[in-house]
């Protein structure tokens, strides 16, 4: 694959840094925004943004990233799109979003790399849940999973996007059994989130707890805790969570 004609797209600035360190010749676009809450308009208006990692771009830069994606899709020199994603709901939804943006193009080769996997390295078993967990030493193993999708597969993903990205404020979770996303309301997720919270942990620790315990994205975990606070089910005092009900 000619690297000059190839763009790698990911949804983690951590992975972007790892890929650059692995091969300086790779062209990379990281899109670290929230894709698993809201409809298409709400996503592109950046209405559900949280800090997805310590180096998240500010709103102006995020807007420029979305503009750059539009430019890359329209580019006549780029022939190959390699999309790095995982079974983390935000990254899976990000992959669907990029394919939706490519819906009118028939002159691009589209490749997917699913970073969620159990890898074996030096007699160690490594269970990777999201692309931000991929380190430089795992890149060669992960790259072996690259898969070129045909037009039928592309259209199926686009149909999944259209089916699930039309409702305002909808939360999307990836279901590993169905291998697709399912829609939920905030209220449907409240019991699981509420009872998973630990008052001995601070806010950031609870976000990570919800993410790992319930297999939510960081984004959804943060918004669900915010929802509980707004509905007076919890209080956040000096960074610690206090349950009210």
What is the CATH number for 111? 3.40.1360.10
Q: Which domain holds residue 72?
A: 3-164
**pLDDT on residue 178:** 86
Report the domain count for the chain: 2
Which alpha helices (H) appear in the chain, and where do they start and end? Answer: 13-22, 40-44, 59-74, 89-101, 139-143, 151-164, 186-196, 203-214, 218-230
- Regarding whether 127 and 59 lie in a shared domain, the answer is yes
- Regarding whether 145 and 238 lie in a shared domain, the answer is no
- Regarding whether 43 and 158 lie in a shared domain, the answer is yes
- Regarding whether 152 and 115 lie in a shared domain, the answer is yes
- Regarding whether 119 and 24 lie in a shared domain, the answer is yes
- Regarding whether 148 and 43 lie in a shared domain, the answer is yes
Q: What is the pLDDT along the chain (245 residues), one digit of tens a residue?
A: 898 999 999 999 899 999 999 999 999 999 988 899 989 888 888 777 654 444 454 554 778 889 999 999 999 999 999 999 999 999 999 999 999 999 999 899 999 999 998 887 788 888 899 999 999 999 998 999 999 999 999 999 999 999 999 888 889 999 988 889 999 999 999 999 999 999 999 999 999 999 999 999 998 999 999 999 999 999 999 889 988 77
**pLDDT on residue 50:** 57
- Regarding whether 202 and 146 lie in a shared domain, the answer is no
- Regarding whether 67 and 129 lie in a shared domain, the answer is yes
| pTM of the predicted model as reported, rounded to 2 decimal places | 0.90
In three-state secondary structure terms, 238 is coil
Asked, for residue 181, whether it belongs to a domain, the answer is no
Asked, for residue 196, whether it belongs to a domain, the answer is yes
CA torsion through residues 112, 158, 181, 173, sign: positive
**pLDDT on residue 59:** 52
Residue with tokens 């990570």: 208
- Cβ-contact 176, 214 below 8 angstroms: no
- Regarding whether 134 and 53 lie in a shared domain, the answer is yes
Angle between helices 218-230 and 89-101 (to 10 degrees): 110
**pLDDT on residue 55:** 45
**pLDDT on residue 123:** 82
Cα separation, 127 vs 34, in Å, equals: 24
**pLDDT on residue 122:** 80
- Regarding whether 227 and 158 lie in a shared domain, the answer is no
């Amino acid at each position: 694959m000619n690297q000059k004609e190839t763009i790698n797209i990911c949804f983690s600035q951590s992975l972007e840094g790892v890929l650059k360190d692995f091969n300086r010749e790779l062209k990379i676009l990281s899109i670290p925004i929230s894709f698993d809450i809201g409809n298409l308009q709400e996503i592109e208006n950046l209405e559900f943004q949280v800090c997805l990692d310590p180096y998240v771009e500010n709103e102006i830069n995020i807007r420029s990233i979305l503009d750059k994606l539009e430019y890359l899709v329209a580019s006549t020199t780029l022939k190959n799109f390699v999309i790095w994603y995982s079974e983390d709901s935000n990254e899976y939804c990000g992959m669907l979003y990029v394919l939706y943006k490519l819906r009118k193009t028939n002159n691009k080769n589209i490749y997917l790399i699913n970073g969620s996997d159990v890898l074996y390295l030096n007699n160690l078993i490594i269970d990777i849940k999201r692309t931000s967990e991929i380190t430089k030493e795992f890149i060669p193993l992960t790259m072996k999973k690259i898969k070129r999708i045909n037009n039928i597969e592309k259209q199926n993903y686009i149909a999944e996007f259209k089916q699930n990205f039309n409702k305002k404020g909808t939360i999307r979770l990836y279901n590993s059994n169905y291998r697709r996303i399912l829609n939920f309301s905030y209220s449907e997720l409240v019991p699981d989130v509420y009872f998973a919270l630990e008052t001995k942990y601070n806010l950031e620790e609870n976000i990570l707890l919800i993410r790992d315990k319930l297999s939510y994205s960081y984004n959804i975990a943060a918004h669900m805790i915010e929802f509980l606070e707004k509905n007076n089910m919890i209080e956040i005092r000096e960074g610690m969570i206090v349950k009210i009900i």
